Amino acid sequence: YSFFPNRPRWPPSKSQLTYAFLPENQLSDVVKTVFSRAFERWSEVTTLTFTEISSFNRADIRIGFFSREHGDGEPFDGVLGTLAHAFSPPTGRCHFDGEENWVIDGDFLNGAPLSAVDLESVAVHEIGHILGLGHSSVEEAIMYPSISSGTRKVELADDDIMGIQELYGSNPNYNGSVSSLTPTGERETSGASR
């Protein structure tokens, strides 16, 4: 795991984070539920909680789907290529490429079209950035930079959990094995930032 330069994180006073969706996207409840599950994966292992609110401008984390140029100087590139990007804490901006073929149920067992991308997998990854994690070289980790189309990867790996717990500590109710592992120690900050 890695962190953004200078290890930015949400301040301790902000352990109860709110999130909202760009109203113009008019996302269905089914899509919103995918994000709810994605947030839950991070709250399971930390002391952070995530609550959806309706006010986009007042939310700590603001999620939107955009196509091509969308105002942050990092235009999306159409189907595949870059899928999404997110900003370091405490910016809270999380952008997804609106031109991707986002799949909700993530059932790729019967062979997926080359362009199908599992929404929850990418959502879990981008939330990792929102919380302060950079990219990881551990291929099993959620924070590994790439994901093949037609692939679903939503479970946090030990590497992800150690990284996020180094920033925010562990959820006292988390019984996973990773909490007993010794972190690998201070690392050079790097990873990714937008």
Partner 1 sequence: HFFPNITAIPSSLIPNTTIWAAFSNLVGCKKGQKADGLPKLKEYFQYFGYLNTSYSDFSDEFDDSLEIAVKTYQLNFNLNATGQIDAETIKRIVVPRCGNPDIVNGTSAMHPGKPSANSTIHTVAH
Based on the shown chain and the rule CB under 8 A, indicate whether residue 23 belongs to the binding site for partner 1: no
The catalytic residue among 24, 126, 139, 166 is 126
Based on the shown chain and the rule CB under 8 A, indicate whether residue 28 belongs to the binding site for partner 1: yes
The residue (of 150 and 169) whose beta carbon lies closer to partner 1 is 150
Burial letters for 60-82: b for 16+ Cβ neighbours within 10 Å, e otherwise?
bbbbbbbeeeeeeeeebeeeeee
Burial of 188 (0-12, 13-18, 19+ CB in 10 A): exposed
Interface stretch with partner 1, choices 13-21, 50-58, 132-140, 165-173 (CB under 8 A): 132-140
Interface stretch with partner 1, choices 16-24, 49-57, 127-135, 165-173 (CB under 8 A): 127-135
Helix or strand holding residue 97 (H, E): strand 93-97
Burial of 55 (0-12, 13-18, 19+ CB in 10 A): exposed
Based on the shown chain and the rule CB under 8 A, indicate whether residue 48 belongs to the binding site for partner 1: no
Among 11, 12, 73, 172, binds partner 1 (CB under 8 A): 73
Based on the shown chain and the rule CB under 8 A, indicate whether residue 156 belongs to the binding site for partner 1: no
Based on the shown chain and the rule CB under 8 A, indicate whether residue 134 belongs to the binding site for partner 1: yes
Burial letters for 41-54: b for 16+ Cβ neighbours within 10 Å, e otherwise?
bbbebbbbebeeee
Contact, 191 vs 2, CB < 8 A?
A: yes
Would you state the structure tokens that stand for residue 71, as one six-digit string? 């105002």
Q: Is 126 a catalytic residue?
A: yes
Residues of this chain that interact with partner 1 (CB under 8 A) are 2-5, 27-28, 30-31, 72-74, 76-86, 98-105, 107-108, 110, 112-117, 119, 122, 125-126, 129, 134-139, 145-150, 184, 187-194
Residues identified as active-site: 126
